[in-house]
Amino acid sequence: MQKLEVFGGNKLKGQIKISGSKNASLPILAATLLSNNRIILKNLPKVGDIETMLTLLQSLGSKIKINKEQIIIDNTKQQKNFASYNLVKTMRAGILVLGPLLAKFGFAKVSLPGGCAIGTRPVDIHLKAISKLGVKYKIHQGYVIANAPKGLKGNNIHFSKISVGATENLIIAASLAEGTTILSNCAIEPEIKDLVNFLNKIGCKIKWKSKRTIKIIGVSKLKEISYSVMFDRIEAGTYLIAAAVTEGNLKIQNIIPKIIKTEIDILKKIGSKIIVKKNEVQIIGNKKIKSMKIKTAPYPGFPTDLQAQIMVLLCRANKSSIIQENIFENRFMHVAELNRMGAKILTNGNKALVKGNINFAPAELMATDLRASVSLILAALTSKGKSVINRIYHLDRGYENIEKKLKKVGAKIRRVN
Ligand code: EPZ
């Protein structure tokens, strides 16, 4: 099992190029199942979850060719509609193939994702909504067995709760349904906008009617296209916080700054100096870090995927801070490990009281989920001495070349077997 060794104490200085978005790539890869043609995708990040999704598509009959700059997906012979547990269990986004398989074949057998470290990850909102398109389903031995005997029929659907995955699944399914579908109370994360751009480019007819309402007119013909996915805003936010917590000076490149406006505004309030350019944000960390009250929320609120990272920064603030996690029911797995490094974080339900003026001590650590793992690296980067982070396969699911990118800007970090 690989681990990372981090010798902290250096200020990070230099430039970091941000990779393609994992969370835009996953729904777009699932959506390629709608097509019977070839589709070329660019800027996909080389991370574990993308490899898993590509393996899942191959298990469904997609022919996949990977070269340096792009991935060619050939669906001319894609016929299968069974997504097995052994692939979906490691990557919950596997449930996103349900919508396209139903749209294309009118039948799908997809493993329920199962829970993970941050929560039970139910899919009830996906299933309730998809049944509104004329789908009958049952849960049998951990699988969703769904079929639409008369094909998918457009309908008006209101999501009871904002869900990124359910919004994506339904937009994809409705793209080939007969008639028009109106989805309301949608999630509006930038990755969903990227999915809609991709779908419209292959010939779907999708239009935002208002902030959280979208209209999809079903089509039957799709085109062969090439598409480049957006930048990873969570990776960008992670490295912005890395600069702030090490009092460094980083230029974060290949991004669209307005998409991470919330994060930039919060880091400015905390005390970082930030210079925004067209496709780059420069951040200069400040010795004085102000305490904050942070509440995670659906976009455009503060992202739950940066909650663990900002918690590390707030441990270094001049006073105590409060973080409220409003999206997932168990997303404080990083707290115990940070407390082992000397943090003083008290949790009560979905609230964490984060004491300030903490100097992290190096330690042997255990990663639990993707974003918790990276928060351990951020803490280790500030602590004088050697920290070791185990189970870094969690990290490799969502961060491309993390130790190379950090080493390039002065971090003393290395991967050991
Ligand atoms: C997506 O997960 C992201 N994953 C997550 O990123 C991200 O944290 C999350 O959205 C919130 O922004 C991908 O895009 C692949 P949700 P998703 O459906 O779609 C509950 C990362 O680190 N819910 O918006 O699963 C759910 O349990 C990952 O990159 C139901 O109750 O998130 C959660 O509490 C982690 N029933 C809340 O809604 C459902 O049917 C939001 O979940 C679906 C969700």
pLDDT in the model for residue 164: 98
Tally the C-alpha atoms within 13 A of residue 377's C-alpha that lie toward its C-beta: 32
> Is the shortest distance between the CB of 367 and ligand 1 below 6 Å?
no
pLDDT in the model for residue 119: 79
Q: Same structural domain for residues 77 and 214?
A: yes
Q: Same structural domain for residues 187 and 305?
A: no
Distance 409 CA to ligand 1 centre (A): 32
Which is the closest atom of ligand 1 to the Cα of 162?
Answer: 24
Q: Same structural domain for residues 7 and 59?
A: no
Q: Could you tell me how many helices (H) and strands (E) the chain has, helices first?
A: 14, 24
pLDDT in the model for residue 135: 98
Distance 185 CA to ligand 1 centre (A): 15
pLDDT in the model for residue 115: 67
List the residue whose alpha carbon is closest to atom 32 of ligand 1.
164
Sequential pLDDT tens for the chain (417 residues): 899 999 999 999 999 999 999 999 999 999 999 999 999 999 999 999 999 999 999 999 999 999 888 999 999 999 999 999 998 888 889 999 999 999 999 999 999 987 677 777 789 999 999 999 999 999 999 999 999 988 999 999 999 999 999 999 999 999 999 999 999 999 999 999 999 999 999 999 999 999 999 999 999 999 999 999 999 999 999 999 999 999 999 999 999 999 999 999 999 999 999 999 999 999 999 999 999 999 999 999 999 999 999 999 999 999 999 999 999 988 999 999 999 999 999 999 999 999 999 999 999 999 988 999 999 999 999 999 999 999 999 999 999 999 999 999 999 999 998
> Is the shortest distance between the CB of 123 and ligand 1 below 6 Å?
yes
Which is the closest atom of ligand 1 to the Cα of 369?
Answer: 22
Which is the closest atom of ligand 1 to the Cα of 303?
Answer: 12
Q: For the chain, what is the domain count?
A: 2
**Extended strands (E) in 21-134:** 38-42, 63-66, 70-74, 82-83, 107-111
pLDDT tens digits along 231-284: 999 999 999 999 999 999 999 999 999 999 999 999 999 999 999 999 999 999
233-245 and 261-270 helices, crossing angle to 10°: 10
Residues with Cβ within 8 Å of 247's Cβ and at least 6 positions away in sequence, in order, are 11, 285, 286, 287
List the residue whose alpha carbon is closest to atom 16 of ligand 1.
163
> Residue 391 is part of a domain; what is its CATH number?
3.65.10.10
Q: Same structural domain for residues 313 and 334?
A: yes
Pairwise CA distance, residues 252 & 255, whole Å:
7
Q: Same structural domain for residues 409 and 364?
A: yes
Tell whether 240 is covered by a domain: no
> Is the shortest distance between the CB of 124 and ligand 1 below 6 Å?
yes
Q: Same structural domain for residues 105 and 195?
A: yes
1 burial via Cβ count (<10 Å: 0-12, 13-18, 19+)? exposed
Residues with Cβ within 8 Å of 199's Cβ and at least 6 positions away in sequence, in order, are 31, 34, 171, 172, 175, 206
Both tokens of 381, joined, read 């980067």
Q: Same structural domain for residues 70 and 12?
A: no
Structural domain span for residue 153: 22-228
> Is the shortest distance between the CB of 215 and ligand 1 below 6 Å?
no
> Is the shortest distance between the CB of 354 and ligand 1 below 6 Å?
no
Task: Return the closest-CA partner of residue 338 out of 265, 245, 236, 233.
Answer: 245
Pairwise CA distance, residues 184 & 83, whole Å:
28
Q: Which amino acids are annotated catalytic?
A: 116
List the residue whose alpha carbon is closest to atom 13 of ligand 1.
23
Which is the closest atom of ligand 1 to the Cα of 128?
Answer: 40
Q: What is the pTM of this model?
A: 0.97
DSSP 149-215: TT--B--EEE-SS--HHHHHHHHHHHTTSBSEEEEES----HHHHHHHHHHHHTT-EEEEEETTEEE
Q: Same structural domain for residues 402 and 350?
A: yes
Q: How far is C-alpha 122 from the chain's CA centre?
A: 17
pLDDT in the model for residue 89: 84
